[in-house]
Amino acid sequence: MLQTLWRFLSSLFTRAICQGPAEGKENGARETTPIPDPGDQGPNLLGKPQDRGADPTERRPTILLVVGPAEHFPKKIVKAGDKDLDGQLDFEEFVHYLQDHEKKLRLVFKSLDKKNDGRIDAQEIMQSLRDLGVKISEQQAEKILKSMDKNGTMTIDWNEWRDYHLLHPVENIPEIILYWKHSTIFDVGENLTVPDEFTVEERQTGMWWRHLVAGGGAGAVSRTCTAPLDRLKVLMQVHASRSNNMCIVGGFTHMIREGGPKSLWRGNGINVLKIAPESAIKFMAYEQIKRFIGTDQEMLGIHERLVAGSLAGVIAQSSIYPMEVLKTRMALRKTGQYSGMLDCAKNILSKEGMAAFYKGYIPNMLGIIPYAGIDLAVYETLKNTWLQRYAVNSADPGVFVLLACGTISSTCGQLASYPLALVRTRMQAQASVEGAPEVTMRGLFKHILKTEGAFGLYRGLAPNFMKVIPAVSISYVVYENLKMTLGVQSR
């Protein structure tokens, strides 16, 4: 039911705001004498008398008949009604199309009519779209109404709704979701993003795991390509200070002198390895939390998505957090200090104990909320702004708009959570000294503000932002190519 409603609303949103009510009269169509409701039984459909005691709003429709050869029919109608696949639409096929289509129209009309008064107003259209994750302005809702409203009441009754939509077959895919929802797959090397959502159809057909595999592969390539900038960021977060003002060129020079060009990729191996378990755990946790919330909506609203996504992020990060500590230690290691990841893990365990694998855990978990919240809010704002201003004939924003929205929203999220990320990295980098006091998150914040000022909380921000655009671009290109390889349809 929800899927049917969304299909109508998505096509309505992208079509009605820019077309007039006369759309149904194109392609040789014209209004003819009223004939009985195609949702009625066969005898009535063939023109026998109707039940005069019936509700006139339910039993007195006006059907639009198409006059002319089948090639003049709108292509979507021919495709939807052509049961014998002969490329023609005969009367019997047209009748079956009308019967099936009107049933769906009735379901959608009843779903939109939240007041159960037999009419749909602007507020009900806005609320229905808002429930499905898309916000439109009251002016847009009024434009939609005007395209169907024949009597100037700024409300739509069943006859107006049916007459407008009867010759528009149900869209197979809800455009707005399909063009916009997978943009969260952009990988910028952060682990705080909200998981993607998949439709019922994608979950039933198994397309969801192909999207996850494509996203994981894109993330691996993206992180590998931007690994030098990521390692430079970690070095600047830990070692840069007022007395050691490490710059970008100086940082790269130091890394190459100390360990050669290969050292630029230290820590990248574990950074790539943790993509798969984190994505799988986050996705499974997200789906379970959605069920726990108890919503019957296919797509969550922004606030529900923030709550579910943040909790899923906490669960996933808690599961793989020791790998985060290993990644930081491997990125900071000197030449010859460890022979590999396992040697690094053994060394930490023997010298510092198991607790060392959870250093920085609290600031990391706290950072999920501002990152995910601002990332979602900015992205939704950009999306809705674009849809309101530029969605004329299609909801497809194009590659560059998606890249821009993903880059801006991710950058804003990182900017908000960066101080917590810096404190987390410094806590992860601490090697316990026997007898020395443990530095807490609060103590570290105070120390940085006292010795370096507020600017000290943003050490390493420049290389972090430098990697965002290439990371988003690379992950998008690789993601699209992997989707084609895995047989996932491009949107």
Distance of CA 306 to the CA centre of its chain: 12
- H or E, element range at 156: strand 156-157
pLDDT (0 to 100) of residue 6: 52
Question: HSE (CB half, 13 Å, CA atoms) of 186?
Answer: 26
pLDDT (0 to 100) of residue 345: 93
Integer angstrom CA distances of residue 75 from 65, 86, 325: 15, 13, 58
Residue given tokens 């709550």 in the structure block = 307
Identity at 475, one-letter amino acid code: S
pLDDT (0 to 100) of residue 226: 93
Dig out the tokens for 464 from the structure: 């972090």
Which has the closest alpha carbon to 158: 96, 211, 186, 116? Answer: 116
Q: Are 183 and 403 in contact (CB under 8 A)?
A: no
| 191 CB neighbour count, 10 Å cutoff | 22
Q: What is the pTM of this model?
A: 0.65
Distance of CA 59 to the CA centre of its chain: 42
Which has the closest alpha carbon to 265: 289, 314, 229, 212? Answer: 229
Q: Are 261 and 335 in contact (CB under 8 A)?
A: no
Q: Strand 64-66 vs strand 119-120: parallel, antiparallel, or unpaired?
A: unpaired
Beta strands in 287-434 (DSSP E): none
Question: Rounded to the nearest 5°, which phi and psi values hold at 370?
Answer: -65, -35
Q: Strand 64-66 vs strand 156-157: parallel, antiparallel, or unpaired?
A: unpaired
pLDDT (0 to 100) of residue 111: 73
Sign of the CA dihedral 252, 257, 259, 260? positive
Which has the closest alpha carbon to 460: 246, 185, 176, 242? Answer: 246
pLDDT (0 to 100) of residue 449: 92
Helical segments of 296-439, H only: 302-332, 341-352, 361-390, 399-429
120 - beta bridge partners?
156
318-323 contact pairs (CB < 8 A, 24+) = 318/361, 318/365, 319/277, 319/278, 319/281, 320/274, 320/277, 320/278, 320/281, 321/357, 321/358, 321/361, 321/364, 322/357, 322/358, 323/270, 323/273, 323/274
119 - beta bridge partners?
157
Distance of CA 130 to the CA centre of its chain: 15
The angle that helices 207-225 and 468-485 make with each other, rounded to 10 degrees, is 140
- In this structure, the chain runs to a length of 491
pLDDT (0 to 100) of residue 366: 93
Which has the closest alpha carbon to 183: 7, 405, 13? Answer: 405
Dig out the tokens for 467 from the structure: 């990697």
Q: Are 482 and 413 in contact (CB under 8 A)?
A: no
29 - beta bridge partners?
66
Which has the closest alpha carbon to 379: 215, 184, 179? Answer: 184
pLDDT in tens, the chain (491 residues): 445 555 555 555 555 444 444 444 443 333 333 333 433 433 333 333 334 444 444 444 443 343 334 444 455 555 555 666 666 666 666 667 666 667 667 777 777 787 888 888 888 878 777 666 566 777 777 877 777 777 778 888 888 777 776 655 444 334 556 667 655 566 766 767 777 777 666 777 777 788 888 888 988 999 999 999 999 999 999 888 777 778 889 899 999 999 999 999 999 999 999 988 988 898 888 888 888 876 655 566 778 888 888 899 899 999 999 999 999 999 998 888 888 899 999 999 998 889 899 999 999 999 998 988 898 888 888 887 887 777 666 667 777 888 888 889 888 999 999 999 999 999 998 864 444 567 789 999 999 999 889 999 999 999 999 998 898 889 888 888 888 888 776 54
Q: How far, in Å, CA of 35 to CA of 60, rounded?
A: 8
Q: How far, in Å, CA of 469 to CA of 476, rounded?
A: 11
| 448 CB neighbour count, 10 Å cutoff | 20
Residue given tokens 């595999």 in the structure block = 213
